[in-house]
Structure 1
Amino acid sequence: MGCKLNNVDIVYTMWSNLKKTGDMAVGQVGFKNNKAVKKMRIEKKCNEIINRLNKTKVVDDQIDYRAEREARDDRERKKDKERAKTQREKEKAEREKLEKERQEKSYDSVFSHAQMTTNQDGYDSDDFM
């Protein structure tokens, strides 16, 4: 009925000025500040403007929210795995570095049995005269 009428009031206001309470009917809204409301009366409707406005409407009822959520979760899991992998590699490199430093400071390799020689059966000649 409203799209066929002439002399229609158009109301312009910011969305933050809209007031909706639970006791209002479906589709009914109020205004928090009536001074922020601008009303214009349209004497005769112009179909070419209405047609241009209707072409700009985007109705997308075929949104698959579950698939979008699963795709987002997959991306987040991959990022988490990458972060965990780099963290593990960093910790492994740090452990290897500490182990190498510990080996370098250790005296275990100094006293290896393969390199030791005995001095018990040595030549003990005191032939200095």
Structure 2
Amino acid sequence: MVYYFTSNVTGSSSMIYMGKDKFENEELIKYGWPEDVWFHVDKLSSAHVYLRLEKGQSWENISEDLLTDCAQLTKANSIEGNKKNNIVIIYTPWSNLKKTPGMETGQVTFVRPNMVKRVHVEKRINDVVNRLNKTREERTPDLSEEKIVREREERSVRREEEKKRKQEDLKVQAERKKEAEARSYGHVLNETKMKSNRAISESSGGRDVLDLEEDFM
């Protein structure tokens, strides 16, 4: 079971989701997306909360209001953290999560610890938590299939982009070839290098051009 929430504090809908227990957390760790940002209460047990960003958005530039929503939801879903004031929520991109042999179910570490950010939460804000809870939906998604579909779509987009890039390269090459040929013909037909019949005759000791042509033949 996965719980989904919707935040509209930025003017557009942002999806926040989390697993029901540590077993769902393990699945979320395994099948996360590159756009996902992971949240957890620092040094305390809590739900693994994820924010799914739009493509092109950076996890380092999450708006303050959206960050507050994610932090408050994470705090509210920590048995111990929900009771305390002045706690710290940590967050990092899903791609920075790391599983090592021997780790317990749902437990993670980080590929790069310096990519983990922290946000201080002074206290629970009930208005925020209640607003988000009103949007909660319970689903049982096929996380593996969802990721397969997403990766297939990504490959299709990359192929299309590569096709367009090659077409642009061919177009540029054709234009350069055309320009090169134009310069070549321009050199051949340069008027300053052309000679009149009279000039040819004078340079040939007064012989007629027709005579020269007959000699050539």
Report the TM-score when normalising by structure 1. Answer: 0.46
Higher strand proportion: 2
